Structure 1
Amino acid sequence: MDWNRVEGNWKQLKGKVKEQWGKLTDDDLDVIAGKRDQLEGKIQERYGIERDKVKTDVDDWYNHQTW
């Protein structure tokens, strides 16, 4: 997985992230700035999901993106 693609296109992808995880605020997304570990941490914090499940969910989201 090439997460650099997400970091490089973060401004364009913020909307898609928010569609998937609507509890994340615009401020959260600004702080995350495309960094996967921060994204996973915020999802875990907002949704109360286990770390392993969050990793799987983020992988699934990434793999369903059309580049």
Structure 2
Amino acid sequence: MANREQIRGHWNEVKGRLKEHWAQLTDDDLRRAEGSTDRLVGVVQQKTGATRNEVEKFIDSLFGASMGDQAAQKVQQYSDAAQQMASDAGQYARDQAKRFAAQSGDLSATVNETVRKRPGESLAIAFGLGIAAGAILFMGRKK
């Protein structure tokens, strides 16, 4: 059974949960029992008809999984979920980097092969692109 200090330390929570569970309890009933575990059990028994064992089990259940324990469990769940998301994001980034490296390697090989097979055309295209880039830069300076 929960001790006097536990009940006193969480009196508002205990009072609220008792009233939720046994709606016929009033604030006056609970005020009469405040400060004594035995008196609390007696008042709940008298008002609700519940057995002493039922009342004690209910009060003990309030302290079995305290709010601190529940909060710690939630924090652990969120931590685990965040860790899994970070791991998934890291794996996705690694996969995309490999894909990009493979594509850029393929493109580089294609450009090399084209320049080797058609050196004159490649030189003409590079020259044309150089003139176009120079013209764009020159026009940008005029403004």
What is the TM-score of this pair, normalised by structure 1? 0.68
Q: Unaligned 5+ residue runs, structure 1?
A: none
Matched, 1:35 2:59: no
Would you tell me which structure has more helix in proportion to its own residues? Answer: 2
Listed one character per residue, the Cα deviations across residues 9-66 of structure 1 (whole Å, up to 9, x for unaligned) are 32x2222331222211110111111421111111111221222232222222332441
User: Counterpart of 2:58?
Assistant: 57
Say what the alpha-carbon RMSD is for the aligned residues.
2.2
Identity in percent: 33
- CA distance change for structure 1 residues 16 and 50 in 2, over 3 Å: closer, same or farther? closer
Matched, 1:17 2:18: yes
Q: Unaligned 5+ residue runs, structure 2?
A: 69-143
- 8 Å contact kept, 2:3–2:37: no
What is the TM-score of this pair, normalised by structure 2? 0.38
Superposed structure 1 runs of 4+ greater than 3 Å apart? none
Higher relative contact order (CA 8 A, sep 6+): 1
Q: For 2:24 and 2:65, locate their aligned partners in 1 and report how far apart those are by CA, in whole Å.
A: 20
| Number of positions where the alignment pairs a residue of Structure 1 with one of Structure 2 | 66
